[in-house]
Amino acid sequence: MPSCVARALISYETVWDSDAIFWWVILAVCSVLIGVVISVVISVVLDLGKRIRQRFSLNQEWQHVKFEIIRDKEGKFRFRLKKADGEIIATSEGFKTEQGCRKAIVLTKQNIANAELQNKT
């Protein structure tokens, strides 16, 4: 048998012997398992992020509230807090100047998250 044919047979046999096939199968299975684990972890993290955003975000109707400055019958400035549908949620006391009313709006925005509920019914 010519030497080039013998080399081809040897290299063919060494590539496809049972040990090599076993390790290729192990490598393929591990690759699939790693891919599945990564995809599961990513989906869990994305779902967790979605749940956190839903838990800590305000309701849709409260996300589009706005402050509105008005002048009452006595000539004082007041602000109203309104939902997107126009419903008035809160009204302030009267202020002598518009600047005082604007300052109250800024303070309200800054401190609203720290407000506590006092039930006096």
- pLDDT 10s digits, 9-64: 555 555 567 777 788 888 889 899 998 888 888 877 777 777 766 665 555 555 67
CA 63/CA 93 separation, integer angstroms: 24
**Binning pLDDT at 50, 70 and 90, where does residue 5 land?**
low
The pTM (predicted TM-score) of the whole model is 0.47
Tokens matching residue 63:
């996300």
Runs of H (alpha helix) within the chain: 3-15, 18-56, 98-111
